[in-house]
């Protein structure tokens, strides 16, 4: 039996929890865009990202951090306010977000070896963990409110590795999206995919993912059959 990774990095939405379907993302965009316009964000950004709030936040983050001299305090504060607004909508839906099959068992199995790397707010994830009686230290949840670039940037993955005192070769990232895969590759971390639908699995496989599973339960069965995690 092969030795398990020392560090299991887990995406959250659509990997562990069905949060996306419980959040009114359209309403959050209708609230976020006017706030950003009022703060003077250039209209070209909204034309570039006409839908979605996380893509809009990510584009704004990239624009601010690419400025000569780095991000200034007022723009940093605007990003924090944007994240907090999105968080309000996440928190309104998180109590209804059901665990994907096997997600809670997987989290309990991995115990102290796991960290969450997510575009959602860390407080949203912590609330879900509390609802489902999962004991995960707050410093093991690296979310949007960390102020790091969202995936596919490797910054959150690298931060998780640092907190877990683990090297890339000792880690595996489990996620559901191409952004997760790209972040893992950029951080030189092994990747495995979760895809509830055949289309989602096909997308990951076509991008080169060799281990793709229908659920956290299937992933857990795989690691129990080939990795020593106890």
Q: How does pLDDT run across 15-73, given as a tens digit for each residue?
A: 999 999 999 999 999 999 999 999 999 999 999 999 999 999 999 999 999 989 889 99
Same domain? For 222 and 171 the reply is yes
State how far Cα 74 lies from the chain centre. Answer: 26
Residue 199: give its domain's CATH number. Answer: 3.40.50.1000
H helix or E strand, kind and range, residue 117: strand 114-117
The structural domain count of the chain equals 2
Per the document, the length of the chain is 230
230 band by pLDDT with thresholds 50, 70 and 90 = very low
pLDDT of residue 64: 95
Domain region containing 35: 22-94
Domain boundary among 70, 94, 118: 94
% of the chain with per-residue pLDDT over 70:
97
Mean pLDDT of the chain: 95
Pair 206, 212: CB distance under 8 Å: no
Domain boundary among 66, 94, 122: 94
Same domain? For 213 and 123 the reply is yes
């Amino acid at each position: 039996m092969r030795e398990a990774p020392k560090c299991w990095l887990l995406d959250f939405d659509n990997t562990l929890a069905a949060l996306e379907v419980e959040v009114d993302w359209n309403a959050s965009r209708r609230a976020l865009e006017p706030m950003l316009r009022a703060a003077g964000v250039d209209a070209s950004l909204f034309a570039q990202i006409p839908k979605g709030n996380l893509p809009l936040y990510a584009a704004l983050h990239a624009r601010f951090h690419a400025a000569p001299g780095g991000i200034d305090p007022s723009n940093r504060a605007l990003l924090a306010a944007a994240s907090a607004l999105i968080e309000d909508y996440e928190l309104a839906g998180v109590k209804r977000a059901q665990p994907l099959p096997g997600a809670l068992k997987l989290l309990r199995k991995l115990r102290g070896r796991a960290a969450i790397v997510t575009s959602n707010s860390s407080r949203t994830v912590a609330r879900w963990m509390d609802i489902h009686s999962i004991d995960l230290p707050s410093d093991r949840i690296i979310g949007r409110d960390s102020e790091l670039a969202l995936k596919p940037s490797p910054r959150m993955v690298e931060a998780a590795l640092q907190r877990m005192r683990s090297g890339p070769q000792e880690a595996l990232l489990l996620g559901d999206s191409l952004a997760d895969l790209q972040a893992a590759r950029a951080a030189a971390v092994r990747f495995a995919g979760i895809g509830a639908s055949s289309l989602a699995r096909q997308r990951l496989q076509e991008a080169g993912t060799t281990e793709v599973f229908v659920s956290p339960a299937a992933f857990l069965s795989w690691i129990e059959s080939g990795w020593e995690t106890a």
